[in-house]
Amino acid sequence: MAEMGSKGVTAGKIASNVQKKLTRAQEKVLQKLGKADETKDEQFEQCVQNFNKQLTEGTRLQKDLRTYLASVKAMHEASKKLNECLQEVYEPDWPGRDEANKIAENNDLLWMDYHQKLVDQALLTMDTYLGQFPDIKSRIAKRGRKLVDYDSARHHYESLQTAKKKDEAKIAKPVSLLEKAAPQWCQGKLQAHLVAQTNLLRNQAEEELIKAQKVFEEMNVDLQEELPSLWNSRVGFYVNTFQSIAGLEENFHKEMSKLNQNLNDVLVSLEKQHGSNTFTIKTQPSDNAPAKGNKSPSPPDGSPAATPEIRVNHEPEPAGGATPGATLPKSPSQSSLPAVVVETFPATVNGTVEGGSGAGRLDLPPGFMFKVQAQHDYTATDTDELQLKAGDVVLVIPFQNPEEQDEGWLMGVKESDWNQHKELEKCRGVFPENFTERVP
């Protein structure tokens, strides 16, 4: 029996909820068609607009903060890998090895501490702030439903009030077929019964109206107080959040700057003790230089090609500038390091140094080193190359940037072009050395 009673209550509740939904849907349709008025509250609607805007802004801030934290974590991993690389290449006998390892450990701890503090002081606060929005949003939606219930109850009661006059007229004059067919003595009883029934319906409608109004007004009053307060709280929340992030980032960079300075000092000490070594490297083409080496031009006679060399010397450049070369510019953090001198040497052919005997003559291009004569025709395949005919004399000059010189290629200007134009920029170009032969 208890089970049947429980099922009956449940079924009754379901039926009641279904009826409410149907009534609300009907009321909304009538309001949209303009056949029923709708209770409006412009002040509350503005509060709802502010609430939605605040929720959108907070959600975006939370998303961007999570992205920032992911970036911090990625930078931590990249920094850790870089320090591990430094530890691997730092040989055991080098001075400052222990200091470098300690700096790497402190660097890792500093990144971890920064990430954790961002989570505690920014992300968790952000999550708590947004945690209150779902409940308020649900209550706003519920208030909207209760407002529809209130309007529906109000319209029902008003329709019964309008029919009251018609009911009163029935007492004076019977209108229904039932009343007309009834004996005279019972017509009065029928009229009284209809009036009583109408009064009962009107009383029930009035009770439903009062009940719906009370429920709506209770929710409305609470939200009218909470929404403006929540809207005003956004300023303080945004200030605290971004102040926390800015403060944490400032302290992080201060501590990281100290570690970087310590690491720089260790490397300067290493450079001072091991910076006197000199080693020779072959010239490599730069990314912007034409890849001439890939063309591999081969003349019929297979003449050997000259290979220029660059020597990197860590010692300071001798006074007076007797040695040709250029000193690389120093960055501010390298002010205490010795200058790195890049010395270029002229190309050699069969072990013979090609000197610049005519470098001082005014009728030759600046930096002139020696002359060569084309032994074979060469068809240029790029705009920076010289077109050669057998017998053309070329005045060889150095590359502006030695790193752009590819093995087996020289820079020069045809003697006929130079004598006619005297403009190096328009006439010079590169050409394969093994298509030519040096002449006096």
CATH code of residue 204 = 1.20.1270.60
In a domain, 100, yes or no: yes
The pLDDT score that the predictor gives to residue 324 is 42
The pLDDT score that the predictor gives to residue 176 is 54
In a domain, 329, yes or no: no
256 and 178 fall within a common domain: yes
Q: In whole angstroms, what is the distance from residue 436 CA to residue 159 CA?
A: 112
In a domain, 251, yes or no: yes
In a domain, 249, yes or no: yes
The tens digit of pLDDT for each residue in 265-296 reads 999 999 888 765 544 444 444 444 445 555 55
Q: Using 70 as the pLDDT threshold, list the residues of the chain that sit under it.
A: 1-9, 11-13, 15-21, 24, 26-29, 31-38, 163-198, 275-362
Q: Which domain holds residue 197?
A: 32-270
How many structural domains is the chain composed of? 2
In a domain, 118, yes or no: yes
133 and 197 fall within a common domain: yes
229 and 350 fall within a common domain: no
299 and 188 fall within a common domain: no
207 and 300 fall within a common domain: no
In a domain, 87, yes or no: yes
The tens digit of pLDDT for each residue in 127-154 reads 999 999 999 999 999 888 888 888 888 8
